Amino acid sequence: MDLELTGRRAIVTGASRGIGLAVAHGLAAEGAHVALVARDPEVLSRAADAVRRHGTTVLPVPADTRDDGAVRGMVARVVAELGGVDVLVNAAARPAVPGPVPPLAELSDDALRDEVETKVLGYLRCARAVAPHMVDAGWGRIINISGLGARIAGSLVGSVRNVAVAAMTKNLADELGPAGITVTVVHPGITVTERLADVVADRARREGRTPEEVGRALAAGTSIGRLVTAREVADVVTFLASPRSAGITGDAVTVGGGTRGAIHY
C-alpha cells in the first residue's frame, strides 16, 4: 500500500530515541521529510544521521517542549527550512516506568505537575503552534503518543497524564476536523526499546526475581504473549500520519499487544 507520504513534512518530538526515533524512521522510509526534535543536541544529531539513510531531508531541531517560546521557534524554523508542516507526532515525554507507586500520602504536587507540564502542555504547545499552518494548507495529521496508563489503574500520575492527552486529542479533533486535520492518540503498552533491559533489571532486583522471569511475566500480560517493539508502534503511527487514515480521528488506537481480560468498546 502506498501511504502517500512522499514529500510530506513531519515534526516528531522526542525523536532522539525510543518510539519517537522509530516513528521518524518510519516516516522517512515512506518518503517524508522529517524534523527531529529533542532536548539533547548531541543525541539528536546522531539520531538524525541514522534517519538520513532513508534519503529524505532530515532536520534536527533541539528544543524543550516545556518552553512555549522554544516550541514556536522550532516550528518557525521547520516551516522556513522545509516549506511547511503536514504532520506532527508528539512523543516528547518521560516513558512510564513499571515500579512501586507512592501512596497518596507521599504523592507530591510536583510529581503530577512535572508530568502535565511535559506530556500534556508540551503536546498542546506543539499542536497550537503547527495548527495554523495545517489550517492554511487545508490538511494535516496530529498524532499524540500517550500510553495504556489511560486504561489501567495503578499509577495515579500515569493515568491522569494519559487520560488528559486522550481528552485533549478528542477536543482538537472536533475543532480542527473541518479544516481537514485529523487528531488521534496512540496508547503503547510496555514497549521494547533501548531502555527496556534496564527497566526489567531494576524490577528484577526489587522483586527478587531474575530478568528472564520478569520478562516472561510482562509478556504474559499481553494477548499475543510478547511485548510490542518500537518499530511496530511506529508502523501504526506512520499509517495514522498518512492520507490513508482519513476516516480515523478523535479516537484512541492501542498498540500494546492486547490487554488480557479487558474489553474496550
Q: Annotate 120-180 with three-state secondary structure.
A: HHHHHHHHHHHHHHHHHHCCEEEEEECCHHHCCCCCHHHHHHHHHHHHHHHHHHHHHHHHC
Is 11 in a helix, a strand, or coil? Answer: strand
Q: Is residue 70 part of a domain?
A: yes
Q: Is residue 3 part of a domain?
A: no
Identify whether residues 92 and 198 lie together within a single domain: no
The partner residues of 38 in beta bridges, in order of sequence, read: 62
In order along its 265 residues, the chain shows pLDDT tens digits of 899 999 999 999 999 999 999 999 999 999 999 999 999 999 999 999 999 999 999 999 999 999 999 999 999 999 999 999 999 999 999 876 555 678 889 989 998 999 999 999 999 999 999 999 999 999 999 999 999 989 988 888 889 999 999 999 999 999 999 999 999 999 999 999 988 888 888 888 988 999 999 899 999 999 999 999 999 999 999 999 999 999 999 999 999 999 888 888 8
Query: Do the bridges between strand 87-90 and strand 140-145 make them parallel or antiparallel, or are there none, so unpaired?
Result: parallel
Identify whether residues 146 and 208 lie together within a single domain: no
Query: Residue 163 belongs to what domain range?
Result: 9-98+111-189+229-253
The domain total for the chain is 2
Q: Is residue 169 part of a domain?
A: yes
What phi, psi does 204 have (nearest 5°)?
-65, -40
Is 157 in a helix, a strand, or coil? Answer: helix
> What's 222's DSSP letter?
B
CA distances from 78 to 81, 98, 169, 218 (A): 5, 35, 23, 39
Identify whether residues 199 and 179 lie together within a single domain: no
- Of 155, 26, 45, which Cα lies nearest the Cα of 91? 26
What phi, psi does 140 have (nearest 5°)?
180, 160
Q: Is the pTM of this model over 0.85?
A: yes
Q: What is the pLDDT of residue 97?
A: 55
How far does the chain reach from its first CA to its final CA, in angstroms?
28
Identify whether residues 146 and 241 lie together within a single domain: yes
CB 10 within 8 A of CB 61: no
Count of Cβ atoms closer than 10 Å to residue 260 Cβ: 11
Identify whether residues 86 and 217 lie together within a single domain: no
Measured CA to CA, the distance from residue 102 to residue 115 in angstroms comes to: 15
Identify whether residues 170 and 51 lie together within a single domain: yes
Identify whether residues 44 and 117 lie together within a single domain: yes
Measured CA to CA, the distance from residue 141 to residue 126 in angstroms comes to: 12
> What's 26's DSSP letter?
H
